Structure 1
Amino acid sequence: MFWSSWTLAERLRDLITPFDQEHIDCAAYTLAVGGEVYVTPNEQVADPTLVTVKRPALGEHFTIPPGQFAFLVTEETVKVPEDALGLISIRAKVKFRGLVNVSGFHVDPGYFGQLTFAVFNAGPVPIHLKRGQRIFLLWYASLDRPSEKKDAIAARKGIDWNVLSGVSGELQSLAGLAKKIQALGDRIHDIEKQQKVNHALLALVAGAFLTFLLTSLFSG
């Protein structure tokens, strides 16, 4: 059974830090973008290997380009009781701009720490966000009994560096690939144009040489 807004108000004071009752949205709690952000580099980055985790100040903006992934941590520390399960998503007004949650949709019983959201910009334009912006949703649902198998890892804080290894380096977006294909097409066009000029010059030289040769033969 999902927790109602009344249950959230009663129980979340001990489960979410910092907690503010004003951030209860119907039957969910809204979580904010926290202090660590990683955005995969696109074709506009000079050296993709130098891209690393950023630590924006509160209110500082950052951008997720089209076709790129990002890892975002929550500002809040979250605890899920052993007799409950957490479900996560992104607020509709952000999803409608093309930001997709690809990190999964549940939080295990016994979890404790900041949540890390893996997101993907599936839209055609950059998505601008800022630290402190409330774009995440967390629901709690009760289990019929405490779970024997639970998340027993120590409190998580920040982005796990292990998850970055699979997305480090340049990731080509459709827009980036289109630009490279266009540049290649322009290059081929320039080469073909130069070849036509070369052929024309060769024809002129050959014609001049043939004229000179014929003139020499008949004049002799």
Structure 2
Amino acid sequence: MILSDKTLLKMIEERTLIIEPLDRKQIQPASIDIRLGNTFSIVEDSPTGIINLEKEIQYKTITSDTYILLPNQFVLATTMEYINLPNNVTAFVEGRSSLGRMGLFIQNAGWVDPGFEGQITLELFNANRCAIELKAGRRVGQLVFAKMDDTALNPYNGKYQGQKGATGSRVFLDYEIE
């Protein structure tokens, strides 16, 4: 079940859902707007030109209120908002159609697990032929919340728990179960 603005407001007031900073204008009928933060990370060039999933990937991270995203460039960014989901609520990250129509693709794997706490890292890609100026504080997407049928048996406590800023891939920490 998708949560309404009325339910979201009640959860925020009760502090069972934490989103900070939050302006009441961000609360929409069935979602909460998220804004672009001020940290951006790009993958460092490797000597081989190949990213190896078993090794830690190096990133260059900058803090700035403005970032120029060049055509066909990929950058990690972060939300201004720090969130803390209860163990019975999940969230979906959705980009804004207005930005997609400019060629700015906003993603983050699209899913936030119950129990997650931290800023959300966004993957941004400029599919346009022109550069796009990104500014901290601008609305870039929205979180749509859904209540689960029960509390999660194993709420999120993974490698991105508590992240702040544009956090690079930690895929090298994965392991295979054989």
User: Matches of 1:92 and 1:111 in 2, distance apart?
Assistant: 26
1:128 correspondence with 2:133? yes
User: Matches of 1:41 and 1:121 in 2, distance apart?
Assistant: 18
Cα 1:163/1:94, change in 2 over 3 Å: farther
1:18 correspondence with 2:25? no
Contact 1:86 1:138 in 2 (8 A): yes
* Post-superposition offset of 1:40: 5.8
Higher relative contact order structure (alpha carbons within 8 Å, sequence separation ≥ 6): 2
* Partner of residue 60, structure 2: 52
Cα 1:133/1:12, change in 2 over 3 Å: same
Structure 2: gaps spanning 5 or more residues: 46-58, 173-178
User: Matches of 1:93 and 1:142 in 2, distance apart?
Assistant: 28
Structure with larger Rg: 1
* Post-superposition offset of 1:134: 1.3
* Post-superposition offset of 1:158: 1.7
* Partner of residue 155, structure 1: 162
Counterpart pick for 2:37 among 24, 34, 52:
34
1:4 correspondence with 2:4? yes
Higher normalized helix content (fraction of residues): 1
TM-score, normalization: structure 2?
0.78
Give me the CA root mean square deviation: 2.4
* Partner of residue 208, structure 1: none
* Post-superposition offset of 1:163: 5.2
Cα 1:70/1:96, change in 2 over 3 Å: same
Contact 2:76 2:168 in 1 (8 A): no
User: Matches of 1:157 and 1:7 in 2, distance apart?
Assistant: 27
Structure 1: gaps spanning 5 or more residues: 43-50, 166-220
Cα 1:142/1:27, change in 2 over 3 Å: same
Cα 1:155/1:40, change in 2 over 3 Å: closer
User: Matches of 2:89 and 2:132 in 1, distance apart?
Assistant: 33
